[in-house]
């Protein structure tokens, strides 16, 4: 992959930028009609699978920094989508839960996402599998490299 010249490297970088961008656009389309943002929708999704988690755990699930997670949570509390309650056992941390409004949007999002991913259904199932596999490889490599540098 690396013997490529300058232009091939640029192609790879551009491809990633572009795919990220295009996918982000799709997620916005999806979230827009629910009157919420993609990140906030993702928070609802995670919260429905992992209820009662704190901000640090949420940050890990979303691969975000703590400060970013804190900000999202703050805006979502203000928007009445989730609740932030001090934990009894550990008064440093919070327990996040969805409000009724949050639950409702999360439910509606199930159909919504499906509808917006529809155009992608023309992609052969093997390709989808390959994509996920290669993405997995890349993420593994990149996150490994990052952790190494931390030590």
Interface residues toward DNA, by CB under 7 A: 21, 37-40, 54-57, 62-68, 70-75, 84, 87, 90-94
Q: Does residue 50 bind its own copies (CB under 8 A)?
A: no
For every residue of the chain, DSSP letters joined together read: --S--HHHHHHHHHHHHHHHHHHHHHHHHHHHTTTS-HHHHHHHHHHHHSTT--HHHHHHHHT--HHHHHHHHHHHHHTTSEEEEE-SS-TTSEEEEE-HHHHHHHHHHHHHHHHHHGGGGGS-HHHHHHHHHHHHHHHHHHHHHHHHHH-
Site string for its own copies, 52-71 (x = CB under 8 A): ----------xx--------
CB of 130 to DNA, least distance (A): 25
Considering beta carbons, is residue 27 or 93 the nearer one to its own copies?
27
CB of 18 to DNA, least distance (A): 11
Among 33, 52, 60, 130, binds its own copies (CB under 8 A): 130
Interaction partner, residue 37 (its own copies, DNA, none; CB < 5-8 Å by kind): DNA
């Amino acid at each position: 992959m690396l013997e490529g010249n300058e232009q091939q490297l640029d192609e790879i970088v551009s491809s990633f930028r572009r795919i990220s961008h295009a996918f982000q656009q799709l997620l916005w389309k999806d979230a827009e009609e629910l009157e919420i943002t993609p990140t906030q929708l993702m928070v609802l999704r995670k919260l429905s699978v992992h209820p009662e988690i704190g901000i640090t755990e949420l940050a890990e699930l979303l691969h975000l920094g703590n400060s970013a997670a804190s900000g999202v949570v703050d805006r979502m509390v203000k928007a009445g989508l989730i609740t932030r309650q001090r934990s009894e056992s550990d008064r440093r941390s919070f327990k996040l839960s969805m409000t009724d409004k949050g639950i409702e949007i999360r439910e509606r999002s199930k159909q919504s996402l499906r509808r917006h991913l529809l155009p992608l259904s023309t992609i052969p199932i093997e390709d989808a599998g390959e994509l996920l596999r290669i993405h997995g490889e890349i993420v593994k490599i990149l996150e490994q490299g990052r952790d190494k540098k931390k030590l």
